[in-house]
């Protein structure tokens, strides 16, 4: 029985375009027929190891063909795919694996620091190490056969962990239907074709590269070029040599591409689309790409909406420069006051999202789920203004989160780790502007009486305890932090603190 979920996509594509290249990495070509064959064999092997419906299978590795094969194999079994951020420190990795109840961890050679750390080594779960390449996951594959597990669109497909304002990462539950409807949204707004050649250099453990680029390209029968890491010079080379038609990147990536020596004279004629998310792109950078004949299509979304919520279509790109656009086709968006009334034009309010692409909630966290929804609407915690044509512009965040190089950073999580240093009396972390990363962290701290602490000493303390993108780039020691009459920290005043 052929399932209805995402695990059926390679099989259906293999029937339609068996010899078409589906994935290309480092010269290694995987056709749609090969992707279906290998993901099916891998599903059989996983089942032989006891993986079944609802079991969580974690994958820790860089962008690679094996990640895609694992994802589809897990989907075929009705199991749950758990892509793990490769930048997590050992304590963070332990929390994700422990909280999710992962049954199996498939990890790429090179990540021994995390997987073999004392924090992770003691966890009771099956583990498989692999080396990316021709052999790949062959040792984990089963015998020849078919997988006939029925999988519905409402079944849970993936858990993606995103840090919470309480300091503990939360697992966003995404069903097969959530992903499928997001893909439909994307294809309504972006004119993808079967001859698409998409370049994926952003991490596939994040929702944007996976759900906004890889899945739509596979559905249309295009080819995805997978790069383990982002290298701007290599990306320019691939655009020219492979005839790339579709890009995705965050602000720092588009900045790096524009800064290469080859950018001004590079042949970008095959590029028809450039997508961006994570944070607004400065108008100066948008104009730099416009001068090369390409409008970067910006959208707004979050992991909880799989991720697309709004899109600024290419036709409106110049006229509404800097806007996040309007709601995606199958998604509803409201901007409301604290009383849940619709805001007036130009008045800031919180963005609410509803639609079939929106998560049902957080994994084993009913309290966080209840807090995130009001009358069926997802409360994003982001502030926006709406113009007289209904276009949104994101202006601030109700939450303290900031985005650094496309990565969400939640100060509460960082502050908890800073407080483990014995010299710290109080700490607050804020995001400050940065030309390369958009925003970076700044820790503003007070010290225990008689204690001494340098910036270098505190940052060294955070190494290994937090992913590097979460570690602040600067530390300011002050005599006291600003509080209101009730003792609550006034973070808005910390913006005034200078290094």
pLDDT in tens, 202-236: 999 999 999 999 999 999 999 999 999 999 999 99
Q: What is the mean pLDDT of residues 237-241?
A: 97
Q: Is the pLDDT of residue 165 over 50?
A: no
Q: Is the pLDDT of residue 4 over 60?
A: yes
pLDDT for the residue numbered 67: 98
User: Where are any strands of DSSP class E within 204-348?
Assistant: 223-226, 246-249, 273-276, 296-301, 308-311, 326-327, 332-336
The third-level CATH classification (topology) of the domain covering 402-496 is GMP Synthetase; Chain A, domain 3 (3.30.300)
Task: Please give the residue that has the higher pLDDT: either 496 or 379.
Answer: 379
Tens digits of residue pLDDT in 354-380: 999 999 999 999 999 999 999 999 999
Can you give the C-alpha Rg of the chain in angstroms? 23
Torsion of CA 156, 162, 163, 166, to 10 degrees: -40
Looking from the CA of 286 toward its CB, the CA atoms found within 13 Å total 20
Tens digits of residue pLDDT in 78-88: 999 999 999 89
Contact between 424 and 445 (Cβ < 8 Å): yes
Q: Is the pLDDT of residue 2 over 90?
A: no
pLDDT for the residue numbered 487: 53
pLDDT for the residue numbered 499: 56
Q: Which residues contact 194 (CB under 8 A, 6 or more apart)?
A: 17, 220, 221, 222
Q: What is the mean pLDDT of residues 181-201?
A: 96
Q: Which residues contact 347 (CB under 8 A, 6 or more apart)?
A: 337, 385
Q: What is the mean pLDDT of residues 402-411?
A: 86
pLDDT for the residue numbered 167: 59
pLDDT grade, residue 488 (50/70/90)? low
Q: Is the pLDDT of residue 104 over 60?
A: yes
Task: Please give the residue that has the higher pLDDT: either 315 or 244.
Answer: 244
| CA–CA dist 208, 212 (Å, integer) | 5
Q: Which of 67, 69, 60 minimizes the C-alpha distance to 110?
A: 60
pLDDT for the residue numbered 282: 77
| CA–CA dist 81, 249 (Å, integer) | 23
Q: With H, G, I as helix, E, B as strand and everything else as coil, classify residue 361.
A: coil
Homologous superfamily in CATH for domain 6-384: ANL, N-terminal domain (3.40.50.12780)
Q: With H, G, I as helix, E, B as strand and everything else as coil, classify residue 273.
A: strand
Tens digits of residue pLDDT in 262-288: 999 999 999 999 999 877 777 778 889
pLDDT for the residue numbered 486: 43
Q: Which of 441, 424, 420 minimizes the C-alpha distance to 491?
A: 441
Q: Which of 59, 74, 140, 73 minimizes the C-alpha distance to 107?
A: 59
Q: Is the pLDDT of residue 117 over 80?
A: yes
pLDDT for the residue numbered 322: 80
The token pair at 87 is 């930048």
Q: Would you kindly state where each structural domain of the chain is located, as residue ranges? A: 6-384, 402-496
Task: Please give the residue that has the higher pLDDT: either 261 or 395.
Answer: 261
β-sheet bridge partners, residue 426: 446
Alpha helices per DSSP H over 329-382? 366-372
Q: With H, G, I as helix, E, B as strand and everything else as coil, classify residue 450.
A: coil
């Amino acid at each position: 029985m052929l399932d209805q979920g995402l695990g059926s996509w390679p099989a259906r594509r293999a029937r339609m375009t068996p010899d078409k290249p589906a994935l290309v990495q480092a010269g290694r070509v995987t056709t749609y027929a090969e992707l279906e064959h290998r993901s099916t064999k891998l599903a059989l092997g996983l089942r032989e190891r006891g993986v079944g419906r609802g079991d969580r299978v974690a994958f820790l590795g860089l962008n690679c063909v094996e990640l895609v094969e694992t994802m589809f194999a897990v989907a075929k079994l009705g199991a749950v795919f758990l892509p793990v951020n490769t930048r997590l420190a050992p304590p963070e990795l332990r929390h994700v694996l422990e909280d999710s109840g992962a049954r199996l961890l498939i990890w790429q050679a090179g990540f021994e620091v995390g997987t073999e750390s004392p924090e992770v080594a003691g966890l009771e779960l099956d583990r498989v190490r692999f080396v990316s390449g021709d052999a790949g996951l062959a040792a984990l594959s089963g015998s020849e056969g078919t997988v006939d597990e029925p999988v519905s669109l409402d079944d849970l497909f993936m858990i993606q962990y995103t840090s919470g304002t309480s300091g503990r990462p939360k697992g966003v539950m995404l069903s097969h239907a959530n992903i499928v409807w997001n893909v439909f949204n994307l294809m309504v707004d972006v004119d993808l074709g079967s001859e698409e050649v998409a370049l994926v250099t952003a991490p596939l453990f994040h929702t944007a590269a996976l759900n906004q680029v890889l899945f739509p390209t596979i559905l249309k029968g295009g080819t995805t070029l997978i790069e383990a890491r982002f290298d701007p010079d290599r990306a320019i080379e691939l655009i020219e040599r492979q005839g790339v038609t579709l890009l995705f990147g965050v602000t720092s990536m588009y900045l790096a591409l524009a800064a290469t020596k080859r950018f001004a004279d590079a042949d970008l004629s095959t590029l028809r689309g450039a997508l961006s998310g994570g944070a607004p792109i400065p108008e100066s950078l948008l104009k730099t790409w416009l001068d090369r004949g390409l409008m970067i299509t910006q959208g707004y979304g979050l992991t909880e909406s799989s991720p697309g919520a709004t899109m600024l279509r290419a036709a409106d790109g110049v006229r509404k420069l800097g806007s996040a656009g309007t709601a995606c086709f199958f998604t509803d968006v409201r901007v409301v006051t604290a009383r849940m009334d619709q805001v007036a034009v130009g008045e800031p309010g919180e963005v609410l999202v509803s639609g079939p692409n929106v998560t049902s909630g957080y994994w084993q966290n009913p309290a966080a789920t209840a807090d995130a929804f009001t009358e069926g609407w997802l409360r994003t915690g982001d502030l926006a203004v709406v113009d007289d044509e209904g276009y949104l512009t994101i202006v601030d965040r109700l939450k303290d989160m900031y985005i650094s190089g496309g990565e969400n950073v939640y100060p509460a999580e960082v502050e908890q780790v800073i407080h483990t240093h014995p010299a710290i009396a109080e700490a607050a972390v804020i995001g400050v502007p940065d030309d390369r990363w958009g925003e970076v962290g700044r820790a503003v701290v007070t010290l225990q009486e008689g204690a001494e602490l340098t910036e270098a000493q505190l940052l060294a303390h955070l190494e290994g305890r937090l992913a590097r993108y979460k570690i602040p780039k600067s530390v300011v020691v002050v005599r006291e932090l600003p509080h209101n009459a009730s003792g609550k920290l006034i973070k808005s005043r910390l913006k005034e603190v200078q290094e």
